[in-house]
């Protein structure tokens, strides 16, 4: 979910939209010819950001590791294979188990089970007490985003654009759905969002698809954007990050494309704006917040897509997908700074130095955010 420009770097692709774009942004910005990251501006009267607790989970390495946050538990993982359950109220580690083979993507959870993808591509499931339940090694390729655990099934998406569902109790494959991949994509797979009995998934070619969890049949398909240009690089328009889903709205943004919102039930387009996206979206009852390819942040009205505010002070800082918490939107950058923007006008009013870049998008817990860094620190931040 980050900025990038060099064509050769884009063509190489990488494992995930957020970390892909951040790494390429940093590479571009370190070049004498590339754009330079915006210098941070001192905040006159910053809000207080309290680090309530922190836990050493273990390095994320090159894996995409997003903590799975529930009301009473947080599950997190390390690339080396540590799977950890933390009490979010106290920050105490409830248990820690070792997953053989290392972890490439995770964590998915539903309060009953936790799912991770091992580095060889297999799926592993554990129960709420950390006990191993089952494994599946029938994936057609590697997964680079966390599985979705919901409706008594585990849904995983692999880089060959296949989405497969497994029975949560037995591990048997229930169904499989696949979109034909284009000749070139960012390989920064969009995460799977849950909307009732649907899995909402972004694909290359700017496609957003709602798949019925009951049988894997597509309920609707919609175009976030259409490919443009002549060369395959010019026609890159992958949907980035996890789609924002809330009630009757499903919103997403695409690289070199648009930010678009659809009716969750029918797939009918509500509104769209041209937008060269660099991340996924965040949304609340009133607005949709997106991150441009160059690191600028924009807020649009949820009902019609009218522009509310624009913040251009974080250009080329390799931003994550935002998270909306209270009166603020939180977004991480390539240097490990977490910025808090006011929802009413987009001004940066707070900043926290996490020590290293975030391994994934900030996650909401109560009135705070839980972040996991590449260096392996899992923390709860409370802005005030």
113 exposed, middle or buried (CB, 10 Å; 0-12, 13-18, 19+)?
buried
pTM of the full predicted structure?
0.90
Q: Which of 375, 352, 327 is nearest to 46 (CA)?
A: 352
Under 8 Å between Cβ of 202 and 215: no
* Count of Cβ atoms closer than 10 Å to residue 61 Cβ: 16
Give the architecture-level CATH label for domain 1-55+278-384: 7 Propeller (2.130)
Output phi, psi for 105, to 5 deg.
-160, 145
Domain parsing of the chain, residue ranges: 1-55+278-384
Written as tens digits, the pLDDT of the chain (384 aa) is 333 333 222 222 333 334 444 444 444 444 457 899 999 999 999 999 999 999 999 999 989 999 999 999 999 999 999 999 999 999 999 999 999 999 999 999 999 999 999 988 899 999 999 999 999 998 778 888 999 999 999 999 998 889 999 999 999 999 999 988 777 777 665 799 999 999 999 999 899 999 999 999 999 999 999 988 888 888 888 999 999 999 999 999 999 999 999 999 999 999 999 999 999 999 999 999 999 999 999 999 999 999 999 999 999 999 999 999 999 999 999 999 999 999 999 999 999 999 999 999 999 999 999 999 999 999 999 999
d(CA 77, CA 217): 31
């Amino acid at each position: 979910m980050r900025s990038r420009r060099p064509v050769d770097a884009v063509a190489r692709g990488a494992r995930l939209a957020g970390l892909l774009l951040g790494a390429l942004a940093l590479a571009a910005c370190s070049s004498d010819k590339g754009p330079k990251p915006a210098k941070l501006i001192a905040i006159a009267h910053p809000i207080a950001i309290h680090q309530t607790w922190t836990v050493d989970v273990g390095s994320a390495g090159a894996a995409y590791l997003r903590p799975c946050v529930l009301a009473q538990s947080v599950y997190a993982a390390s690339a080396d294979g540590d799977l950890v359950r933390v009490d979010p109220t106290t920050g105490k580690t409830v248990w820690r188990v070792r997953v053989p083979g290392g972890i490439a993507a995770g964590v998915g959870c539903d309060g009953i089970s936790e799912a991770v993808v091992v580095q060889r591509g297999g799926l592993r499931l554990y129960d709420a007490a950390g006990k191993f339940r089952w494994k599946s090694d029938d994936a057609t390729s590697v997964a680079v985003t966390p599985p979705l655990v919901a409706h008594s099934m585990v849904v995983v998406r692999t880089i060959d654009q296949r989405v497969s569902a497994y029975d949560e109790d037995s591990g048997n494959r229930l169904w499989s759905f696949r979109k034909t991949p284009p000749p070139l994509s960012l390989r920064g797979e969009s995460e799977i969002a849950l909307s009732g009995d649907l899995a909402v998934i972004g694909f290359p070619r700017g496609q957003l698809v709602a798949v019925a969890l009951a049988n894997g049949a597509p309920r609707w398909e919609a175009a976030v954007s259409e490919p443009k240009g002549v060369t395959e690089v010019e026609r890159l328009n992958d949907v980035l990050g996890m789609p924002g889903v809330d009630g009757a709205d499903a919103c997403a943004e695409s690289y070199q494309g648009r930010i678009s919102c659809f009716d969750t039930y029918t797939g009918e387009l509500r509104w769209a704006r041209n937008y060269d996206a660099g991340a996924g979206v965040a949304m609340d009852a009133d607005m949709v917040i997106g991150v441009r390819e160059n690191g600028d942040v924009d807020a649009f009205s949820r009902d019609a897509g009218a522009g509310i505010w624009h913040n251009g002070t974080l250009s080329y800082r390799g931003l994550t997908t935002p998270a909306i918490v209270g009166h603020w939107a939180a977004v991480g950058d390539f240097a490990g700074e977490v910025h808090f923007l006011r929802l009413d006008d987009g001004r940066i009013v707070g900043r926290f130095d996490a020590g290293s870049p975030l391994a994934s998008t900030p996650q909401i817990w109560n009135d705070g955010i839980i972040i996991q860094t590449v260096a392996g620190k899992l923390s709860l931040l409370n802005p005030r």
